[in-house]
Structure 1
Amino acid sequence: MLVRGTFVHCLHSSTLEILHDYLLAVDDLGCITHFNAAASSQSTQFLTNIDELPKQLPEGSFLLPTFCDLHLHAPQFLYQGNGLHLPLMEWLDEYAFKAEERLDADPKLARRVYTRLAERLVENGTGAVLLFGTIKEETNLILADVMHKAGIRAFVGKLSMDQSSRPSYVEESADNSLDAARSFVGKMKSVYDIPHLVEPVITPRFVPTCSDTLLKGLGDLAASQDLRIQSHLAESHDQVEAVRSERGEEDLLVFRRSNLLTPRTIQAHCTFLDVPSLSQLRECGTAVAHCPLSNAYFSAKPFCLREALDQGLKVGLGTDVAGGYSLDIMNAMRQAVVTSRMRQGSNIMNCNSESTLAINWIEALFLATRGGAISLGLPFGCGLFQVGAPFDVQQISLWDTSTRIGVGALDFFDDAMKITPEVVEKWWCLGDNRNRASTWVQGIKL
């Protein structure tokens, strides 16, 4: 594949790069083999050695790396947009556990729900997603199969939980749960031998649903097979208080002594962690899935995003469906900025203007692309346009070149239009699925 046009990516959390009239080549393995200005001597020489003509992007379009969703409960897509009036622990009993149990009992329903979920993810430009599943192996294998057929990078977690407030939705014992986790990992590895496309993830739901024996065993399993780990950490006031009451310590310490805070770990939320606790995560190499929408519903505090970024913690964005009602990472980006600005406003009103707690739209775009790729440990260069990186890309269409009318919600009034930072910002604020013309993962169009 050869493409010529405008490319947009975030090299760093504060750096937006817009590259006009560049030439990009993708090999049969779906990796970028050439990326340079179309008028450069390197591009001229490259074109003399091949017979293919490049695809020219319309002037009103640009290519952008696909989004990464670091936290999504696949079975909860069944009731997306319901039950958000309840506190977290009540909501789990009333909605989450019931939905997960229902899909575990009905493979046909599970496949139908997961197939639609995959279609929606592609519509929203999500190329990589970290998924919580259910406790039943078969249902999670269905989830993996659906994501694989959709072509999405999917990291699938079979839930491990040997304690539950719902007696019908729990594994029999720590040993039973560990055996099930080993079996799931083994079957996933035997079916999906292409790394970074569909992989298993060790998934203790969170501390309240896991015994110390189970957590320690999962940490050992993850270490022995170099597996990713995901869970929830310091999410809500009632959850934090439950752990303190039952364990006599913070869930951060419970995870750490169980060897579950590693460079392969992504912990969702972390809203009740102070700055020193965030430093512990950084020391462990653990990443945070920031889910601003669900935090607004289920946490009494916002995540300390500015502080986390300033100290170099790995952070990406998550939709947290169904604790969050939107599958669109663009909404997560916007909500991350809004939440940070509210924190900054509170800071100012408390007469503390020395530090800035707000983030801007470029930083949010970085979190959705390159930051998410780093947090997930995706292959070299993911989230960027550079030689050797996989071609995980979405084509964004801003205006129709024949009519000069903006696509979707976008309106432009200048005769001479060019893709500038201001134009990209307008899309970031107002754009939607109507602006997404195509999506590729590993060079394959979805």
Structure 2
Amino acid sequence: MTMQASPGRAQWTSTGGFVLATLGAAIGLGNIWRFSYVTGENGGGAFLVVYFGAVLAVGIPLLLGEFAIGRDTRREAASAFRHLARHGLWRHAGILGVAASFAILTYYAVISGWALKYFAGFVTLAYPLPQGEAPKAFEAFIAAPFEPTVWHAVVLAAAVAIVAGGVEQGIERACKVLMPLLVAVVVLLALYSLTLPNASAGLRYLFVPDWSVLERPQVYLAALGQAFFSLGLAMGVLVTYGSYLPSHIRLPQAAVAIALGDTLFAVVASIVIFPAVFSFGMSPAQGPGLAFVVLPEIFVRMTGGAIVGFAFFGLLVIAALTSLMALLEVCVAYLVERWNVTRARAIALVAGAGFALGVPSSLGFGAWSGVRIAGLPILDAVDFAASNVLLPLSGLAIALFLGWHWRKEDALDAVGVRSPVLANVWCLAVRYVAPAMIAIVLLRSVGVF
């Protein structure tokens, strides 16, 4: 039985506000920067097919389950599991998501600062740079001792200012403005990209599958990992946002709408990138440098490239900001509800600690470039720990909790699935499919096989 919200507890004011806020949390750098380069590295169209399968088999069931946990308990992520589990290790399952959110926050703000720097460069007409200069300029920027940290601080401060307004007046209000703007920009950029010479080659790469790549196990692992990152699964975000849900909102419809919206956005963002990449003879498998090295090189050779670059990096900044807001809110809600810290103090603590612990990631390509963790730069090492260890562990704990610990009748009542067939499909997914797939990804990530 879903608990009634406490009189002083924040709530989303409408279904649309909730959907936009959750899409804002999910749609971030993962949908534009990360989705594009992971798709490029894993065969384009065939990867998309596997990715869609991962969203259906694992993404939507866990998305729905996390929302249900949040709304049923009316608590933030860590406290929600403590309330439902009552005893045993299950009580601590939620803290994994909070830890993952904080770890991601520390380096996500750094990369968001890079995007803001490039956006500012296009605003001031310092960009695009002369042809051939983008790789050297990016390397010089991230190796600088001071400038990356300044942009890191500025973008984090912007997210803090919005979160300080609270759930309704801060996060929801901002997302009602930023998300339509985000969609408008990505659609306009996609339409422009389709007019480029040889754009059809990019579309073929993206939508015509090369089935031979399905022989590579890495494709399946990358698809599931991207689904986790893109949908915001297992970070505590969905449980926390679900806890602000009014009782009248129907979870299954909302979960499907959010998953489809998130996936559609990622595909449209890929339509922005891949036709441009093929039009100018670049390789689609460029890795993380795609957004900050390859695309700036394309913009300088493109008619109207200064305007397109301005719009593209504006898109990145908005997407990064809405996700940063969600990561902050998870950690702030944890301190407020679990430790009775005032919201203002919690925001200061999370932002201050997040910034301080993000500085090593920012300096890891310059002054601290000699520091390696397991052979990786600091930012990459934190990303590996969060994305390949904490998130899969958190996701596995959530799936097992939903499928095996939470009483089936209570879980289905909270989820709101009325059809017996769909109820059985959901139970099958969270009991067997999701745990098995997540366990394989986790074991592969840490080098067991």
* TM-score interval for Structure 1 and Structure 2 normalised by the shorter chain: under 0.3
Highest CA radius of gyration, 1 or 2? 1
Q: Which has the higher strand share?
A: 1
User: TM-score, length-normalised on structure 2?
Assistant: 0.23
Q: Which has the higher contact order (CA 8 A, sep 6+)?
A: 2
Q: Which has the higher helix share?
A: 2
